[in-house]
Chain A
Amino acid sequence: NAGVTQTPKFQVLKTGQSMTLQCAQDMNHNSMYWYRQDPGMGLRLIYYSASEGTTDKGEVPNGYNVSRLNKREFSLRLESAAPSQTSVYFCASTFSGGGWGNEQFFGPGTRLTVL
């Protein structure tokens, strides 16, 4: 059981370049999330997918797109990277439903620098 995996672990981009961050979970969770973490600002939700085939904007979606490829995989794409997108990106997953929240399981993070 690998849990939540993310690739790559580190990435350096130049302004205007594009890239896709990959995330996969093997816990059969229905919901998946992308967060960014900046110093002193906690975790901010970029996009989420409540279930396979659905995606919705979170708190800070501008400059990003997502794809829920199947139940296991949820990718985050930066079409034209900007220095303001320098951050640590975390993917998470959970089982949602039944009227209660549940533990979110986080991946190890991707550290992205945009020059």
Chain B
Amino acid sequence: GENVEQHPSTLSVQEGDSAVIKCTYSDSASNYFPWYKQELGKGPQLIIDIRSNVGEKKDQRIAVTLNKTAKHFSLHITETQPEDSAVYFCAAGGTNAGKSTFGDGTTLTVKP
């Protein structure tokens, strides 16, 4: 089955700095790579996703890049704000009943 590794597990940045979270996956059949944000006490919520036919996608301050050859993808957040503080999960999958395998999460803290 799919195996997803996510790094780092914790990340602390100053407000206004950039944050980068990286994930690797093992199954070359995976074609869907979402990123979810989870705030305290809530369920995860999608912030951006990318499909395997695209190398990069951007939405305002967040962007995702995908390297299919190396089987890794990254989340980039620019101009971080305190409200970006949360746990972020990457996932990979999509081809089998819509299932995704999740990374273990990154706790991002943005210091004012």
- Interface of A toward B, CB cutoff 8 Å: 4, 31, 33, 40-45, 48, 50, 56, 58-59, 90, 92, 94-97, 99-104, 106-109
Contact = CB atoms under 8 A, between A and B. Distances in A.
B98 A94 contact: yes
Interface residues of B, number: 28
Given A42-B105, A102-B32, A103-B34, A31 B46 contact: no
A31 B97 contact: yes
Contacts of B97: 31, 48, 50, 56, 96
B39 to A, nearest CB: 11
Contact of A106 (B1, B43, B93): B43
B32 A101 contact: yes
A101 B94 contact: yes
Interface string B32-66: 10101000011111100101000000000000000
B15 interface: no
A65 B101 CA distance: 20
Given A101-B93, A101-B95, A106 B104 contact: no
Interface of B: 1, 6, 9, 31-32, 34, 36, 41-46, 49, 51, 89, 93-95, 97-105
The 7 A-B residue pairs whose C-beta atoms are closest, nearest first, are A101-B94, A101-B32, A96-B98, A106-B43, A50-B97, A42-B104, A43-B102
A109 to B, nearest CB: 6
A33 B99 contact: yes
A51 to B, nearest CB: 8
